[in-house]
């Protein structure tokens, strides 16, 4: 076994690998770019090495810097994690040439599976069913357009290299093909350095189901069951589970056999994933093979009780697979939710900034324990940054229970105890999915999020009264704690100026907390407090509640008629004047108002369109003087390796375009001068 390995990655997956290596007594070397100098994976590793500036092209994608770091620190092997160079055959070859073990499959397997078109030809020869389509070398737009017409619509355009939904477009009409092709090619070129694409028929009622496979250097290959990854946004997975609620035993067995056949066809070594698309008619087709560990591998670990990184390390060290197919079993049901810094209401645009507050259930526990009922895999900590340079995933929340129904309940509970302040997240969106009837009944496919997006977005209605009241009580408890702390540090701890007592001569005076929600509704909550009981005045009615506080979590027991159903938890996170209230049915962002503070009135919008994040302008679709309609695309930006379209906010006239293709723009930079059409 290895004494020391270098992890050629960052964030959550680097932390995940470090945890297993620590259990096995293997020393780890972390690498970091400038933006990652104080990152969690750097703190956890035994040693760390700077490899360059913040952009991945200057650090994590520079194979020579990674190899130099491994040599400098005396590592015997390199674990590539996922993303970056994990599926780069040339990097694997260079590792071997310099005497380092690449913890992954052979160079030949990576090359065979690295390009989707070639992979499909290999699978056809192995008898694995593949999706009909065009996967040839001719790539001229006119030729591809004619091939699309032959194939028929709807169809998929897919980048030949890479994954993660980048360079992928669904096309429903012949006239939409040229624009979709250009967009897919541009995105593929930016993400993978290669703009080649293939065309595939679009499968009706598609479900994305993948099988975890493992092979060793002795020709053995097994599967570790399936993961249903059908819940996606922008072709990127957000919810994964196992077992799949769609498969029956017969279909599961057929797909498992095909997955193992695919592994043996390329003499696969190590951890890999064979991905299938399954139609509503239960026909299944090979999509691609990921020659690496997957983001969603904890789902498999939860149902099998196995540590896949242990398997990777032992196989890479020349050992046989730890179990035969007959010895591998699954128990219960597992679900994983990916928590991203992104805004579902704006097309899932990433959000960057500081994680001022970060709370998850059991975050202080060992987050790599595959046998826990709740598991958090994260590569960030409170006070850390979500940077434009890297993927905006904050954490993975994984639950395991005896049944799917129990696992859904466990996920709902875990999400209601999770909160982030500092960036916009998809946590409320994940809660909506978990409560949606179609998900509960296992009826979701890859089109579910797009088709139900409006109903899945957190509502714009004012919060229930009890959420506002509970948040105000949390504010009051914090005021009491701050006052007590101030008194203890004071030279006169008994001074009335260090007390929040609300005694008045001849009258009982309530404490007052003023809150404003996201819709701009302002509310003053009047509260009387005695021990752990609070009385709230609301519309000439007095509501009583008993509160038990555990750090940020409040247990509320309402003692008023009609509120018994709300005797449950409320998580309230605070940072400066911002408050986030989280409960089992959603979450609400409040601002706490200072009645003595002066607030400037907001300026009337001049309809300027600004960049939602730093990035590059890659296409301008209009010119000054153009009359445009609401929702019409104006220009396209590229940021975080994804394309983002800026659209007209209303019917109007483009007064001026302030940037051109190739220009770099900063966050909130004004892009377009825009005026409303006079009616």
pLDDT of 365 reads 39
Question: Could you give the 3-state DSSP secondary structure of residue 224?
Answer: strand
Clarify whether 38 is annotated catalytic: no
285 and 213 both lie in a single domain: yes
pLDDT of 602 reads 44
267 and 377 both lie in a single domain: no
Question: Could you give the 3-state DSSP secondary structure of residue 176?
Answer: helix
Residue 115 forms part of a structural domain:
no
Domain finish residue from 536, 559, 592: 592
**Cα(610)–Cα(643) distance, rounded to whole angstroms?**
15
Q: Are 365 and 372 in contact (CB under 8 A)?
A: yes
Residue 654 forms part of a structural domain:
yes
pLDDT of 585 reads 85
pLDDT of 607 reads 55
576 and 620 both lie in a single domain: no
Residue 433 CB partners (closer than 8 Å, separation 6+): 231, 238, 239, 439, 449, 456
Residue 570 forms part of a structural domain:
yes
Domain at 50, CATH number: 3.40.50.20
**Cα(73)–Cα(649) distance, rounded to whole angstroms?**
54
Instruction: Report residue 498's pLDDT band, with 50, 70 and 90 as the boundaries.
Output: low
Lowest mean pLDDT among 22-36, 309-323, 329-343, 617-631: 617-631
Domain at 509, CATH number: 3.30.700
**Residue pLDDT, tens place only, 138-177:** 999 999 999 999 999 999 999 988 666 788 999 999 999 9
282 and 361 both lie in a single domain: no
Number of domains composing the chain: 6
Domain at 420, CATH number: 3.30.470.20
Lowest mean pLDDT among 226-240, 557-571, 586-600, 652-666: 557-571
91 and 143 both lie in a single domain: no
162 and 182 both lie in a single domain: yes
Residue 384 forms part of a structural domain:
yes
313 and 335 both lie in a single domain: no
Q: Could you tell me which residues are beta bridge partners of residue 207?
A: 278
DSSP tag of 83: S
Lowest mean pLDDT among 151-155, 402-406, 595-599: 595-599
Instruction: Report residue 386's pLDDT band, with 50, 70 and 90 as the boundaries.
Output: very high
Q: CB neighbours (10 Å) of residue 530?
A: 7
582 and 476 both lie in a single domain: yes
Mean pLDDT throughout 458-467? Answer: 73
Lowest mean pLDDT among 323-332, 396-405, 415-424, 605-614: 605-614
Instruction: Report residue 603's pLDDT band, with 50, 70 and 90 as the boundaries.
Output: very low
* Token output for 556: 């509320």
Q: CB neighbours (10 Å) of residue 13?
A: 28
Whole-number average pLDDT of the chain: 90
Instruction: Specify the pTM.
Output: 0.84
Instruction: Report residue 366's pLDDT band, with 50, 70 and 90 as the boundaries.
Output: very low
Q: Are 343 and 349 in contact (CB under 8 A)?
A: yes
63 and 158 both lie in a single domain: no
**Cα(202)–Cα(157) distance, rounded to whole angstroms?**
10
Cα separations in angstroms, 209 against 160, 164, 665: 20, 15, 39
Residue 652 forms part of a structural domain:
yes
Domain finish residue from 323, 348, 370: 323
481 and 587 both lie in a single domain: yes
Domain at 147, CATH number: 3.30.1490.20
The residue among 588, 562, 561, 554 whose CA lies nearest residue 467 is 588
Lowest mean pLDDT among 11-20, 74-83, 154-163: 154-163
When comparing pLDDT for 106 and 607, which is higher? 106
Residue 449 CB partners (closer than 8 Å, separation 6+): 231, 232, 233, 238, 433, 456
251 and 277 both lie in a single domain: yes
Mean pLDDT throughout 54-77? Answer: 97
Domain at 616, CATH number: 2.40.50.100
Residue 495 forms part of a structural domain:
yes
**Cα(74)–Cα(100) distance, rounded to whole angstroms?**
10
Residue 600 forms part of a structural domain:
no
Residue 550 forms part of a structural domain:
yes
**Cα(190)–Cα(641) distance, rounded to whole angstroms?**
6
475 and 448 both lie in a single domain: no
Domain finish residue from 323, 344, 359: 323
* Token output for 432: 């909506």
Instruction: Report residue 135's pLDDT band, with 50, 70 and 90 as the boundaries.
Output: confident
pLDDT of 598 reads 54
> Among residues 62, 207, 292, 404, which one is catalytic?
292
Asked whether residue 417 carries a pLDDT value surpassing 90, the answer given is yes
Range of the domain at 82: 4-103
């Amino acid at each position: 076994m290895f004494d020391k390995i270098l992890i050629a990655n960052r964030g959550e997956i680097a932390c995940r690998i470090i945890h297993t290596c620590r259990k096995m007594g293997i020393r780890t070397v972390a690498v970091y770019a400038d933006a990652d100098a104080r990152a969690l994976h750097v703190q956890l590793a035994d040693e760390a090495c700077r490899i360059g500036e913040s952009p991945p092209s200057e650090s994590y994608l520079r194979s020579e810097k990674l190899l130099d770091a491994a040599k400098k620190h005396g590592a015997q092997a390199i674990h590539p994690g996922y993303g970056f160079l994990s599926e780069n055959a040339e990097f694997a070859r260079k590792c071997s040439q310099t005497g380092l073990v690449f913890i992954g499959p052979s160079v030949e397997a990576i090359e065979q599976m690295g390009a989707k078109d070639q992979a499909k030809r290999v699978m056809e020869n192995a008898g694995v069913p593949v999706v009909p389509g065009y996967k040839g070398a001719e790539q001229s737009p006119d030729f591809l357009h004619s091939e699309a017409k032959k194939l028929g619509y709807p169809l998929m355009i897919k980048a030949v290299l890479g994954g993660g939904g980048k360079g992928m477009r669904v096309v429903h009409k012949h006239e939409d093909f040229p624009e979709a092709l250009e967009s897919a090619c541009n995105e593929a070129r930016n993400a993978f350095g290669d703009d080649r694409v293939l065309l595939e028929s679009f499968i009706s009622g598609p479900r994305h189901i993948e099988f975890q496979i493992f092979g060793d250097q002795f020709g053995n290959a097994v599967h570790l069951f399936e993961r249903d990854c059908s819940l996606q946004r922008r072709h990127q997975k957000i919810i994964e589970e196992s077992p799949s609620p769609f498969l029956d035993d017969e279909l599961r067995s057929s797909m498992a056999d095909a997955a193992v056949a695919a592994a043996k066809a390329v003499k696969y070594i190590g951890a890999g994933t064979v991905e299938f698309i399954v139609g509503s008619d239960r026909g299944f087709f090979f999509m691609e093979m990921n020659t690496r560990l997957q983001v969603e591998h904890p789902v498999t670990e939860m149902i099998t009780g196995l540590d896949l990184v242990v398997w990777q390390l032992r196989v890479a060290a020349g050992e046989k697979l730890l179990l035969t197919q007959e010895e591998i079993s699954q128990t219960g049901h597992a679900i994983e939710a990916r928590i991203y810094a992104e805004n579902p209401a704006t097309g899932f645009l990433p959000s960057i900034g500081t994680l001022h507050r970060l709370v998850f259930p059991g975050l202080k526990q060992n987050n790599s324990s595959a046998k826990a009922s709740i598991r958090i895999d994260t590569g960030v900590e409170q006070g850390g940054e979500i940077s434009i340079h890297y993927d905006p995933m904050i954490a993975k929340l994984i639950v395991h229970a005896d049944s799917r129904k129990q696992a859904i309940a466990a996920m709902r509970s875990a999400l209601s105890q999770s909160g982030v302040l500092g960036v916009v997240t998809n946590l409320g969106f994940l809660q909506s999915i978990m409560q949606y009837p179609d998900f509960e009944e296992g009826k979701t496919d890859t089109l579910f999020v797009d088709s139900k997006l409006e109903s899945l977005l957190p509502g714009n209605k004012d919060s229930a009264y009890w959420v506002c009241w509970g948040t105000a009580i949390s504010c009051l408890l914090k005021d009491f704690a701050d006052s007590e702390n101030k008194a203890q540090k004071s030279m006169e701890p008994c001074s009335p100026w260090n007390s929040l007592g609300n005694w008045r001569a001849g009258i009982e005076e309530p404490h007052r907390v003023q809150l404003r929600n996201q819709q701009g509704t302002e509310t003053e909550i009047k509260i009387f407090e005695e021990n752990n009981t609070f009385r709230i005045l609301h519309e000439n009615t007095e509501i009583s509640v008993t509160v038990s506080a555990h750090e940020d979590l409040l247990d509320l027991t309402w003692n008023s008629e009609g509120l018994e159903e709300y005797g449950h938890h409320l998580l309230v996170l605070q940072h400066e004047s911002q408050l986030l209230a989280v409960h089992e049915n959603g979450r609400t962002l409040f601002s706490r108002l200072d009645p003595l503070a002066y607030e400037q009135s907001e300026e009337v919008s001049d309809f300027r369109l600004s960049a939602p994040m730093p990035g590059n302008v890659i296409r301008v679709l209009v010119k000054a003087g153009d009359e445009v309609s609401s929702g019409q695309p104006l220009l396209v930006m590229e940021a975080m390796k994804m394309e983002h379209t800026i659209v007209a906010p209303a019917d109007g006239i483009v007064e001026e375009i302030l940037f051109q293709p190739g220009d770099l723009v900063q966050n909130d930079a004004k892009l377009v001068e825009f005026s409303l059409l006079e009616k």
